[in-house]
Structures are given as structure tokens and as C-alpha cells.
Amino acid sequence: MAKSSPVFTCQTCGAVHRKWAGRCDACGAWNSIVEETPLSSGPKALGSKGRTIALSDLATEEAAPPRTSSGIDELDRVLGGGLVPASAILVGGDPGIGKSTLLLQAAASFANGGVKCLYISGEEAAAQVRMRAQRLGLGQAPVALGAETNLRDILTTLDAERPALAIIDSIQTMWLDNVESAPGSVAQVRASAHELVTFAKRRGVAIVIVGHVTKEGQIAGPRVVEHMVDTVLYFEGERGHQFRILRAVKNRFGPADEIGVFEMTGGGLAQVANPSALFLSDRDQPAPGSAVFAGIEGTRPVLTEIQALVSPSPLGTPRRTVVGLDSGRLSTILAVLEARCGIPFAGLDVFLNVAGGMRVSEPAADLAVAAALVSAREDVAIPPDMVLFGEISLSGALRPVAQTESRLKEASKLGFSQAIAPTRSKVGQDEGMRVRQMPDLAAFVGEMFGAG
Ligand code: TYD
Ligand code: MG
């Protein structure tokens, strides 16, 4: 086949030029044109014959992928029941949140379970990683450790060693010598991740890629890699809190939205098997502005405390500060309280917080948020043995939410004895919970606070 002539493509707008120029005619960008080798496929290049690919029907029986347990239950759950061989997993998170610690512990745990495991650090020297491992009491685990950033050398090593699991920490430090840009640039991160994912599939090595979340700027974030990998996990948490949540955002081999809860301690990350108890443990006396939300995270019910503070504002535009919830959701709930229940928040600063550094994204939290807000404003405490859940519509009606029963069961298990739920929720006969069903927010506010 004749070699196709080179093309020059503007990296900013994608315009294709016949020859190189300093400035792109199409978009006016300077120094954005680079030579690219055209793909030797496409209809024209296809003059010669390809091969026919094997097709199958959807009904073909497929065995579930075999899984290897990490020995860390919270991690296994997020992976969808264990590590799938030859899969590519991205673990993203803010710098310093504990990704390296988590993966070092996971590597040690896998290795102790007989899984051949390689940990490649591009950020820390081998001695540093070793010191950390010893401090965490993992010094004896048979993990093979490497400190390297040259991806070609790493892949050669992986090919020779053929581990079952390789951890690459982090993708932003890796570089390929055939890509002409600095490590951490979009081009390097994308090309390196592509090489790693291809290698994982071809050689049957599960690869975990660590990616730092970056606030804009020179370094490409893990989003660049998300579409290439099978599983995307984010490690989240508030810096000031000890809780860390590992959340599956995408999983080709299991449910997304599943969470694993950990606690950062002096001796590394510890699993938290019962997160509800932990997120609620700081509650002492019933206080105005606090409401307990019975939520669902992935497949697991989790109770969280929503806290609100409302105070007269010295500012022309009162403050609306939210931690752990969507601020748009707060505005909507404030508007519904004002319009449908006659409870105005004008001239008042509003602070809303989910206790323990948890993030809540379920609309089912609406009712607990509204309850915390009104409780704070009216200075009336909600009974400490009460949980709430329900979505609030713009009309002020309460909409039923999924999995009512598991929410109630979890609440009952933790010693709660009453619940407020939307009418039409599927409440079973059970558990010594007194469940009151409310049609709308105004009815709830009227009954609970005598307001509105
Ligand atoms: P690290 O895993 O290095 O974060 P990342 O790889 O996401 O950048 O975690 C660093 C933080 O974790 C550091 O600020 C100290 C804290 N930490 C502990 O509190 N206890 C420990 O046992 C370890 C190893 C770290
Ligand atoms: Mg790190």
C-alpha cells in the first residue's frame, strides 16, 4: 500500500492543513498545528480486503467474570464483588486524600492472599514507599515494588513479570518517549493510559491507575482517562475529617454508585463496616437544626445527619453556604418552603452541612433538608429518634422514593423509632417503627412545627 502523505492538524480546532504553518487559518491559534500520520484505515485505504469478524447473538451464555477478593470488604463491594482479571481501574481523588495509602494496603492485602502484585510509584522513591509500608505494618507482604516513570520500561517489566495486578501511581507522572509533551499533559496522560489499558486487555493483567484530581491548569485530570477504563472509582472526603469514601462512578462489571467507607487513622485506612453508626455518632442532645436522613448509597442504606443554621444576615444578599449537598437543591427547597409553606428565608443567612464529611446526592434527602432548615429557623428540635426521607416537588408535594423498606430497617437497627415518609411509600408491616406518611411539605411543617 502506498504510504499516505502526512497531514497537519490544528490541535485547537481540528482543521486539517496540507502543510505546516505557524498559525491556523481556521481558528487563528498560534503554534497549534502538528503533523499527524493519517490512519491507514477508512473507506479509501480499505481498497484491500479486511477480515470478517466473528459475530455472536445476545443469548450466548457468558460466565460471570471470575473475581478475586482483595480481603478488604469495603473495596470488594465498590469493585462489584472483587477484582476482575484483565480489567483497568482508575482511582481518582484530590492530592493527599489517601489514594497511595489505600492502594498500598490493597496491594499488600492482595499479595497476602496469593495474588502476584506489582506496585509502581512514579511519585515517591522506593525507600519512601517501603517506609510507609513498614509504618503501616505491611512490611512483610510480598508486593514487588518499583519506582519508575518511563512507561516503556514499566510495560517491559510487566511483560516479563506477568503479575495478576499492577498499580500505577500516578498516571500524571508517567511518560512515553514517543509522545512529545511533558508528563502530566493531556497528550501524555491519554497516550500512557491507552498503552496501559491495551496492555491490561492483551496480557490479562489487572491494572489500577491512580489519577490526581487537578484544579484546572497544566496537568490533565483523571477525566481524560475515564472513558478508556472499565471501572472509575473516586476517593473522596473532607480534608479535616477522618472519613474517606470510595465511590464507584462507572463500573462495567458491577453497580455504579456503590460506596466503601474508610477512616484515616494513624495506622492507615481502616474499614468502616457500619457507616450509619459512624456518621451519627457525634449526635448528643436533640438540637434545633438537625435532621437524620435515611438514605441509600449504592445498595446499602446509610443514615446521615443534616445540619442547618439560620441566622439574621448583616448582608444585602444573605449567605447560602452548603457542604456535602448540591447548592442548587438548597435554593429550590428554600423557594418551595417560602412559596408553598409561607416560611420566608429572606434576610437570613443559611448554612447547611452534612455531618461527617459525607456527600449526599439523592433527591430523597429533600425532606430531611427542609426539616433541618425549618427546625433551625423556628428553633424547635426534631425528635432525636426520628428519620426522614422523601423528594420534594416544586408544587410542595412529597414524592415517594425507592427502597423504603431498607431505609426503615436500617433506622430501626440503629435505634430510631419513628419516621416521616411520603404518602404512597411502600411501607411494610414491621420493625417497631412508627411511620407517618405525609402528602406534602406544608402538612409536615404544620404538624411538626405548627408553622406555615
Ligand atoms: P496519600 O496516600 O499519600 O495521598 P495521595 O496518594 O492521595 O496523594 O495520603 C497522604 C495523607 O494521608 C497524608 O496527609 C497523611 C495521611 N496519612 C495518615 O493520616 N495516616 C497514615 O497512616 C498514612 C500512611 C497517611
Ligand atoms: Mg500518592
User: Which ligand 1 atom is the nearest neighbour of the CA of 235?
Assistant: 7
270 ligand 1 Cβ < 6 A: no
Nearest CA to ligand 1 atom 12: 98
As a whole number of angstroms, the distance between CA 209 and CA 302 comes to 29
* pLDDT tens-digit map of 357-366: 788 999 999 9
Task: Name the residue among 118, 145, 149 with its Cα closest to residue 130.
Answer: 145
Average pLDDT for the chain:
88
Phi-psi region of 258 (alpha: psi -120 to 50; beta: other; left: phi over 0): beta
Question: How far, in Å, from the CA of 129 to the mean position of ligand 2?
Answer: 10
* pLDDT tens-digit map of 425-440: 888 766 678 999 999 9
Decide if pLDDT at 50 tops 90: no
Pocket test for ligand 1, best of 90, 99, 101 (most atoms within 8 A of CB): 101
| Residue 280, φ and ψ in degrees, nearest 5 | -100, -10
To the question of whether residue 95 is assigned a binding role by annotation, the answer is yes
Neighbouring-strand partners of residue 167: 119, 208
> Which of 46-50, 188-192, 371-375 reaches the highest mean pLDDT?
371-375
To the question of whether residue 230 is assigned a binding role by annotation, the answer is no
User: Which ligand 1 atom is the nearest neighbour of the CA of 136?
Assistant: 22
Asked which of 3-7, 149-153, 242-246, 286-290 is least confident by mean pLDDT, the reply is 3-7
As a whole number of angstroms, the distance between CA 147 and CA 322 comes to 41
* For range 183-198, the mean pLDDT: 91
Ligand in closest contact with the CA of 173: 2
To the question of whether residue 72 is assigned a binding role by annotation, the answer is no
User: Which ligand 1 atom is the nearest neighbour of the CA of 103?
Assistant: 2
Nearest CA to ligand 1 atom 23: 268
* For range 284-288, the mean pLDDT: 79
C-beta separation of 76 from 49 below 8 A: no
As a whole number of angstroms, the distance between CA 47 and CA 41 comes to 9
- Tell me the pLDDT band of 109, cut-offs 50, 70 and 90: very high
Question: How far, in Å, from the CA of 137 to the mean position of ligand 2?
Answer: 18
pLDDT at 1: 46
To the question of whether residue 99 is assigned a binding role by annotation, the answer is yes
Give this prediction's pTM: 0.79
Q: Which residue has the higher pLDDT, 425 or 311?
A: 311
